[in-house]
Amino acid sequence: MNWDWQVFCEDTIERQVVQGCFGKNGDVTYLDWLLSAWGWTISVSLCALVIALVVGSIVGTLRTLPDRPWTVRLGNAWVELFRNIPLLVQIFLWYHVVPAIFPALKQVPGFLLVVLALGFFTSARIAEQLRAGILALPRGQRYAGMALGFTTFQYYRYVLLPMAYRIIIPPLTSESMNIFKNSSVAFAVSVAELTLFAMQAQEETSRGIEVYLAVTALYMISAFVINRIMAFIEKRSRIPGFIAAGGSGGH
Q: Is the pLDDT of residue 243 over 60?
A: no
Residue 89: inside a domain: yes
Q: How many domains does the chain have?
A: 1
What's the pLDDT tens digit per position in 180-212?
Answer: 999 998 888 888 899 999 999 999 998 999 999
Predicted confidence (pLDDT) at residue 133 exceeds the cutoff of 90? yes
Q: Per the domain annotation, does 241 fall within a domain?
A: no
pTM: 0.89
- In a domain? residue 132: yes
Question: Is residue 11 situated within a structural domain?
Answer: no
Residue 81 domain flag: yes
Amino acid at 96: H
Range of the domain at 92: 49-200
Which residues, 6+ apart, have CB-to-CB distance to 205 below 8 Å?
Answer: 7, 10, 15, 30, 211
| Of the candidates 146, 165, 164, the residue with the CA atom closest to the CA atom of residue 155 | 146
pLDDT at 241: 64
What's the whole-number mean pLDDT along residues 205-226? 94
- Domain membership of residue 65 (yes or no) is yes
Nearest-10 Cα torsion for 45, 50, 55, 57: 120
Tell whether 192 is covered by a domain. Answer: yes
What CATH number is associated with residue 137? 1.10.3720.10
CA 172, CA 169: separation in Å to the nearest integer? 5
Would 105 be classed as within a structural domain?
yes
pLDDT digits (tens, 9 = 90+) for 25-68: 888 999 999 999 999 999 999 999 999 999 999 999 999 998 88
DSSP state of 18: P
